[in-house]
Amino acid sequence: MKKMKVLSTYLLAVMACLLCGTATSAQVNTGRVKGVVRDESGNPMPFVNILAKNSLTNLTSGTQTDSAGVFNFPRLPVEGSYAFIVSMMGFETQTLSGYNLKANTSTSIIVKMKSSLSALNEVVVVGYGTRRKSDITGSVAIVSEKDLTQGVNNNAMQALNGKAAGVYVSQSSSAPGGGVAIRVRGAGSINSSNAVLVVVDGMPGVDPASVSQDDIASIQVLKDASAAAIYGSRAANGVVLITTKKGAAGQMNISYNGYVGMQQLAKKIRLLTAPEYMQVLNEMSVAQGQAEPFSQRFRDSIGKGTDWQDEIYQTAMAQNHQLSFNGGAKNHKYYVGLSYLNQDGILKNTNYERYNARVNYDLSPSEKIDVTLALNISRTKSNQAYNQTGINENAGAINTALNFDPTISPLKDANGRYRQNPLIALENPLAIIYGITRSNVVNNTYGMLSANYRPVNGLTLTARVGADLSTGRLDAYNSRITQFGQSAGGIGSIDYADNTHWLMEYLARYDRRIGGHNLSLLVGTTAERYDGSSAGASSRMFLSDITYTYLLGSGDGVNGDNVSSSRNSNKLHSYLGRLNYEYRDKYLLTASFRSDGTSRFSDAHKYALFPSLAVGWNIHKEPFMQTAKAVSNLKLRFGYGQIGNQDIGNFATLQTYKAAGRAVFGDNLYQGVEPARLPNTALRWETTEEYNAGVDFGFLNGRISGSLEFYVKNAKDQLFSKPVPAFTGFPSQVVNFGNVRNKGMDFLLNTRNVEGKDFSWESSISLSLLKNEVTRLPDFIPQLLTGAFSFVPNFALVQTGMPIYSYYGYEVDGIFQTDQEAAASGQPGAKAGSPRFRDQDGNKSIDPKDRVVLGSPLPKVTWGFNNTFNYKKLSLNVLVLGVHDAYALDANIVESLYPINFQRNHMAEYYLDRWTPENPGARYPSGINASTYGGQYSVNSYTVQDVSFVRLKTLTLGYTFPLAGKTIKSINAYVAGDNLFTITGYNGYDPDANSRNAVARVAQNSYPLAKVYRLGMKLNF
């Protein structure tokens, strides 16, 4: 709390300084100017920049329109005439001149903005600079502030959902503060990271969860190698550029944006009810020649029993509040954003809370010098769910709720303890909810200080220094409420991490226009350093649970005590350059290179060069196209580039040592060491080579616009562990070998369907097609099979000709109806009621050679369809998402079909429609002696599920209130719903979930998706 008070005091001081810097002396003879800005359809336009310029005194003053499109200059000196310059990206700048004001009189202005040919003159951030949209030759997806996906978003990447073709955003966990996975044009790395590089205001590697969505001005995604090559060794999986808001010259504008929401479980998993559970277990016991475990009297006494999902889930609240200030004068501008997000989880005792403060300051002390500061401070605190991927006694609340005995009461027993079933080796779900806590606190500060100097016309020298500093502490405590905690006398642990990232950049850019030739040359060098350290401690057998983790030293000091620590560091040094050339705005060329050197590789391969080349042709500007009045934009683009992946760990090329056995020499005990690995000094970068061809189009003055792109993306020099002779003392060595190809199509279509005085309708469709294939593997690894967990065998296949990490298992083609049929099949242990696995090779025996590819984790088709309707002051926005031909292994289905314990509860579908002699046409096996067709056979076409879906992602209805007050300029109120319905054949919580956050998707006790209802308001002062 003391730190937060200091932070609050500091921010207030900064704001006071900024306000003082913009104060102006009172003017006696002043007039007021008030106006409204509308688009071509008559709709109000918020965030339009208005600059008032006095022709006599050269006085300038600026402001922005509010959500109703209204701007206001309350006091302008009447001396001299005024010109009002109205500008916004994507629209033609308008200058309204000759306004002479009268003292104490109000002047009204109505401005109608005209689209600048589908926003072709919009300035787009492309990495180490900006370009006009019409000049871009690479593949860049652009999502502006108004198009960001809304919702209870705790990660900036969620704002891209459904808005960019070729960009697949998956909510890997719907927990508060849960992870988000983003894939740009598939996945290319087999054993390294497939994560994108996130760059915020020029600072690479920033955690997007630390960015408040209300601070974002735009997001650009560099999708192809020609666009991303300027980021070299970290760009193989795509680059996401986040640009935050800046200040505008003029009086201070204050805005508030906030909502309060209610979250509900979107879908329950259908489990056996208590009566069904007892009936099924009785029937299955009799089928195995055993007595019924539940008497009729007991069954009558239980009644409906307990729905453990109802016990652990709740209706939860979420709220977000953002207060923003922006303004400035001719030579300085500022933006300050303060935000607070609090999201309770629908799983009880889970929560995410974030405080965020941002300051962006621009200072121009002279025409040749400008300085920019971008600073972000955030603090998050989350109460996390316990061990969502654990099993048996170590399982989390979701797993136990799905498997716990429904005949047991949720009430505590006479001893004040939660009730148990000693036969199922599971903790009571409520004991986990209330007895185990995991509190994680993360403090993050990152920023960039930049200085630009223009010594001569056309030349700009830039120096930047940046830092990203974060610390985290995880406190975990298992109290005596649980069985494990009671037997251990409480178990506590603390894990602490500290990570720093330092950056220095020196750039030079030269711009020159000679006749029809326009040249821009950028060169530079960068240096980065990453340092990380961690420490952990744990103990047990405490005097009381009251001390939590704050007195680890009060543990028994012997059993369960553990202390650990670590440190890591690496450096990156780079040279970069880019040439942009255009001739008469028709013929475009972009060439770039980046040479990266990293401390992770040996001297022989420390540096690697990543070049790119792209060309473009603005066909619509050719003379022969001038008669095609309907064509407002037509551009062809071709690009090629190489980008890298250096995410191999810090010491794969170096020999380091680790602690080994101990030995006694004389009377002393000595600690031994041994080599940690067999290093490979020839190890080099994974490299991705990509070809991209695209066409940008626009018709009817931009009413129809979009793009169509085709790409081929080859990732080569994959990292593999090669077996080595035993005499080396190691089983394997990391080497480069193997290729993966992603190829596909991205399509984007924007339309203004209706443009009326009172009614308008705009649509946007993004569509992506993807084919992923492993094209080459080393001879020593003809196939790679991995992914085993718990009691599930390896299932993720990497094999030439197949998608990366395909699901590999047995195909079910029916159920054996008789023991004789089963015996003749050659399927080991099969009986009547067992699933019949297809004999793929026809050798009358079911063995590992009969496994086939059951599906790919990467969707072949993804799309988003966004519609915005405006009627007078009303607005309606609808976003629908689709994901098709994607698969996941569902561990909960594995648990139901092949239970660890017969007494556990099950998913109802697999037992209410199970095979019995009386139900021979059942869809699922009998469940009798499931171990005979489980185990090595548990990965099959039952457990690998098609997770395709269509989802109504957001639905927002808003109303803008017309106001003429001096204090509040505008009010926009809205109601919204998120995840209102999902159409899918998948019967788990969420088809989009991935509990392992890897390419090979696994649904294992995934945190459920929430249906959200929000009530929000936007105010401008």
The 10s digit of each residue's pLDDT in 509-537 is: 999 989 889 999 999 999 999 999 999 99
CB 941 within 8 A of CB 811: yes
CA 596 to CA 233: how far, in whole Å? 6
Place of tokens 């309708």: 761
Q: Residue 552 is which amino acid?
A: L
The rounded percent of the chain whose pLDDT value lies above 90 is 55
Cross-strand partners of 73: 33
What is the model's pLDDT at position 5?
A: 43
Q: What φ, ψ does residue 727 adopt, rounded to 5°?
A: -65, -15
Any residues with CB less than 8 A from the CB of 363 and at least 6 apart, and which?
A: 331, 332, 370, 371, 372
Using alpha carbons, select from 129, 38, 35 the residue that is nearest to residue 88.
38
Cα dihedral 840, 845, 851, 852 in deg (nearest 10): 0
Per-residue pLDDT at 907: 95
Measured distance CA(851)–CA(857) in Å, rounded = 17
Q: Is the CA virtual torsion 429, 433, 438, 444 positive or negative?
A: positive
Q: Alpha-carbon distance 871 to 755, whole Å?
A: 11
Which tokens in the block code for residue 697? Answer: 């189009």
Q: Which residues contact 83 (CB under 8 A, 6 or more apart)?
A: 52, 53, 55, 95, 96, 97, 98, 99
Residue 565, number of CB atoms within 10 A of its CB: 10
pLDDT of residue 297: 94
Per DSSP bridges, beta strands 732-736 and 197-200 are: unpaired
Query: In whole angstroms, what separates CA 442 from the centre of its chain?
Result: 18
The CA angle 771-950-710, to the nearest 5 degrees, is: 30
Q: Nearest-5° angle of CA 315, CA 317, CA 318?
A: 140
Confirm if 172 and 997 have CB atoms less than 8 A apart: yes
CA–CA separation, 312 vs 430, rounded Å?
7
Q: Compute, in degrees rounded to 10, the torsion defined by CA atoms 810, 811, 816, 820.
A: -60
Which candidate, 396, 561, 214, places its Cα nearest to that of 1007? 396
Alpha-carbon gap, residue 161 to 491, rounded angstroms: 40
How big, in percent rounded to 5, are the helix, strand and coil portions of the chain? 15, 50, 35
Rg value, the chain, Cα: 32
Torsion angle, CA of 201/207/212/214, rounded to 10 degrees? 50
- pLDDT for res 413: 93
Only one residue has tokens 């519609």, namely: 867
Distance (Å, rounded) from C-alpha 55 to C-alpha 96?
12
How many Å apart are CA 816 and CA 834, to the nearest integer?
6
Q: Answer yes or no: are the C-beta atoms of 207 and 470 closer than 8 Å.
A: yes
Pairing of strands 239-244, 197-200: parallel
Q: 874-884 and 949-961: which strand pairing?
A: antiparallel
Mean of the per-residue pLDDT values for the chain?
A: 88
- Residue 539: other Cβ atoms inside 10 A: 26
CA distance 403 to 474: 28
Characterize the bridge pairing of strands 739-755 and 436-453: unpaired
> In which residue are the tokens 């998956």 written?
170
Q: Are 637 and 694 in contact (CB under 8 A)?
A: yes
Q: Could you count the other beta carbons within 10 Å of the beta carbon of residue 918?
A: 7
Task: From 827, 861, 819, 860, select the one nearest 844 (Cα to Cα).
Answer: 827
- For β-strands 30-38 and 106-112, DSSP reports them as parallel
160 close to 881: Cβ distance less than 8 angstroms: no
Contact 232, 225 (CB under 8 A): no
Model pLDDT, residue 61: 82
pLDDT at res. 63:
84
d(CA 650, CA 568): 7
256, with CB counted inside 10 A (0-12, 13-18, 19+), is middle
Sign of the four-CA dihedral 36, 42, 44, 47: negative
Degrees to nearest 5, angle at CA 685 with 680 and 690: 150
Map tokens 């923003």 to a residue: 324
> CA separation (Å) from 267 to 135, 986, 1010?
47, 11, 8
Select from 190, 172, 173, 189 the least CA-distant residue to 181. 172
Q: Which amino acid is at 355?
A: Y
Instruction: Give the list of residues 6+ apart from residue 293 with CB closer than 8 angstroms, or none.
Output: 278, 281, 282, 285
Separation CA 60–CA 325 (nearest Å): 20
CA distance 661 to 645: 36
CA separation for the pair 376, 211 (Å, rounded): 8
- The Cα 212–Cα 322 span in angstroms is 9
Among candidate residues 157, 213, 163, the one with its CA nearest the CA of residue 954 = 163
d(CA 92, CA 584): 20
DSSP annotation of 484: H
Query: pTM of the full predicted structure?
Result: 0.84
- Return the bridge partners of 562, or none: 538
Structure tokens at 293: 């475990």
Quick one: pLDDT at residue 20?
Answer: 43
**86 and 43 in contact (C-beta within 8 Å)?**
no
Let me know: does 423 contact 903? Beta carbons within 8 Å: yes
Parts of the chain with a pLDDT under 70: 1-28, 41, 89-90, 115-122, 964-966
CB atoms under 10 Å from CB of 97, counted, come to 11
Distance (Å, whole) CA 164 – CA 198? 16
